[in-house]
Amino acid sequence: MSQSCSRSYPDGEAEVRATFASVMPVRAIDDKARAVADRLFFETVVRVHRAGEGAPYTGLRPAGTPVSPVIPIAEDAVATGSAERLIAYLSGVLGEELSNRLGIVKALASDRDRSIADGRQYVEAMEGFEVYSHSVLKALHAQDGHGH
């Protein structure tokens, strides 16, 4: 267990160790028992890890389950020590998203005085754009689940 996970979930390491100790004898019974024991152990490890991140446990995912496209880029940043590619990717995604959302606001602006419904649609898009921008800023300043 990493230090940050144990800080967030202090009993996590003890729980993983206890589960490991309890499943080891069961694994020797037969293949079915081994499969059940392995699943219990892996579920415990993932659940404890997620608790350390402050995130809910949503179950194990099958091998090959797609991950966010940003994960390999972030992993590359860790491996190379350079965030340039990650910055470029995230900046591009953010730029596209903001441009698209603002484009909707601008398109609705010309008809906002035509009717109450059009005015409401414009205000909803405008406020949505502003709230989205604020949410992005909050996310940029948020601590991760590891207390960083």
pLDDT in tens, 118-128: 999 999 999 99
Residue 109 located in a structural domain? yes
Residue 80 located in a structural domain? yes
Q: Are residues 74 and 137 in the same domain?
A: yes
Residue 61 located in a structural domain? no
Residue 65 located in a structural domain? no
CA distances from 39 to 9, 19, 57 (A): 21, 11, 14
Residue 18 located in a structural domain? yes
Q: Are residues 32 and 90 in the same domain?
A: no
Q: Which has more confidence, 63 or 4?
A: 63
Residue 81 located in a structural domain? yes
Q: Which has more confidence, 107 or 63?
A: 107
Q: For the chain, what is the mean pLDDT?
A: 88
Q: Integer distance in angstroms from the first to the last C-alpha of the chain?
A: 16
Domain span at 84: 70-141
pLDDT grade for 57, boundaries at 50, 70 and 90 = confident
Amino acid (1-letter code) at residue 4: S
Residue 148 located in a structural domain? no
Highest-confidence segment of 4-13, 37-46, 97-106 = 97-106
- Residue 147: predicted pLDDT: 52
Angle CA(120)–CA(122)–CA(126) in degrees, nearest 5?
Answer: 115
Q: Which has more confidence, 16 or 9?
A: 16
Give the total number of structural domains in the chain: 2
